[in-house]
Amino acid sequence: MTSRQRALCEYAEKLTRSPSSMTPADLDGLRAEGLDDGEILEVVHVIGYFNHINRVADALSVDPEPFMPTTSD
């Protein structure tokens, strides 16, 4: 994993697990990896969309596709 990928994953995990604790300083790691404000906005939209759609699927008890692992796998 590259340092850029690691920074993106760490940002995504924090935004997913504790969104209320996000601060402007959380963007420093992304900027240090060369992301500009437009790219950061896109990252935030992608993370937010996946969090949203996963919550919708969980709320409606949507079964995963057969090729997707479940939490018991």
Give per-residue pLDDT as tens, 20-63. 999 999 999 999 999 999 999 999 999 999 999 999 999 999 98
Start-to-end C-alpha separation, the chain:
24
Would you list the domain boundaries of the chain? 3-59
Which band of pLDDT confidence, cut at 50, 70 and 90, is reported for residue 67? confident
For residue 71, name the pLDDT band (cuts at 50, 70, 90): low
Q: How far apart are CA 14 and CA 3, in angstroms?
A: 17
Please, what is the angle between helix 3-17 and helix 37-59, to 10°?
Answer: 50
The CATH number of domain 3-59, selected from 1.20.1290.10, 3.40.50.970, 2.60.120.280, 2.60.120.10: 1.20.1290.10
Which pair of structure tokens corresponds to residue 60? 């409606």
Grouping H, G, I as helix, E, B as strand and the rest as coil, residue 67 is: coil
Q: Is 5 exposed, middle or buried (0-12, 13-18, 19+ CB in 10 A)?
A: exposed
